[in-house]
Amino acid sequence: MRLVSWIGGNDLDAAEAKTYQTGAVAATLASATFTELHLLYSYPERRVSNYLSWLSSLHGIPVAKRKAESASPEKVKSLITKNNRGVRQANISNSDIYELSIPIPEASKLAKFDEAVAKVQAMSKSMLLQCSESHAFFKSLSQRAFSGDLQL
C-alpha cells in the first residue's frame, strides 16, 4: 500500500526532538504496513533531509520526496491577511478573496489523494471494529474469570 502525505511542522519537530509526539507521517506508518511513501514538502531542504533520515531509521521504507511549488498554508494566510484593516481581527472583503490565486492540483493527483483518503478511512473503520471486538472479548473473559467459570 502507498502512503502520500505532506510533511508538516509537527513531523519535522518530532525528528528534531522538539516534541514527544511522532508527527502524523510516522504515526501513520506505525499504524499499518506501507510499501511506498511519497512525501510533499515546502520546508528547507536541510530540515527535510534530516527528517527523512530519522524516518528511515524508524521504518526503513523507500521514500520519494517532492518539493511543492505551490503556496504553503502560511503563504495563503499571509496573502489573505496582508491588507489587515483591523487591530485584532483581519477584515477580509470579497474583493480580497477574489484577488487570491489559489493553486489547484491536477485531477489525477486529486484522484490519487481521494484513493489514499478512502484507504485510510477503511483502515480506521477496521481498527475501530477490531478494538470494539477486543473490548467485548476482554469483558467476557473478565466476567468468566471473576465468576469462576474460566477454565485454563
The verdict on 112 and 57 lying in the same domain is: no
Q: What is the pLDDT of residues 20-40, one digit of tens each?
A: 677 888 888 888 888 888 888
Our count of domains for the chain comes to: 3
Element (H, E) at 65: strand 63-67
The verdict on 94 and 112 lying in the same domain is: no
Asked if the model's pLDDT at residue 123 lies above 90, the reply is: yes
Predicted pLDDT at 116: 92
Q: What is the pLDDT of residues 47-101, one digit of tens each?
A: 899 898 888 888 888 888 888 766 555 665 665 566 555 433 456 666 666 676 6
- Domain for residue 152, yes or no? no
Predicted pLDDT at 97: 65
The verdict on 81 and 135 lying in the same domain is: no
Helices within 38-106 (DSSP H only): 45-59, 73-81, 94-98
The verdict on 51 and 30 lying in the same domain is: yes
The verdict on 13 and 60 lying in the same domain is: yes
- Tell me which residue range forms the domain holding 19: 1-70
**Rounded to an integer, what is the distance from CA 136 to the centroid of its chain?**
30
**Residue 107 in grid coordinates:** 485531477
Predicted pLDDT at 134: 92
- Domain for residue 85, yes or no? yes
